[in-house]
Structure 1
Amino acid sequence: MELVAVLRALEQRRLPPTAHLRAADPDFALDLVQGAARPAADLLYALSNSFAFGGTNAVLIAGRDG
């Protein structure tokens, strides 16, 4: 399901919001997407991490043509 969300973000060129983010810590200069998805016209690649119990891990990188 996560990969579907990644592919849709690439297709629509939008960054989905960070899950469960209520308030960002002002001491950290991170570009977090808060509240609603944000346009990202130059989005070409996205990454999906899947970590499971027992050491079964996978990382998928999806990309699109310019």
Structure 2
Amino acid sequence: MKATNYKACLALEVPAYVAFYKSQPDFIGDDVLTIEVKYAGGRTEIQKITINVAGPGAQQKI
């Protein structure tokens, strides 16, 4: 991942992964997903992520 003009850094490059999530229509509650990350050299890592899906107008915590 590359970022420019981030806080005091003019250029930043770090390893990253990106995942897109979209809940089923009208779903509210906790949803759990698992991502398998494969690194160069053969190492594999499992990431378990819990996403809280709130209803319309609910305050989002980031």
TM-score, length-scaled by structure 2: 0.37
Larger gyration radius, structure 1 or structure 2: 2
TM-score, length-scaled by structure 1: 0.36
If asked which structure has higher relative contact order (CA below 8 Å, sep 6+), I would say: 1
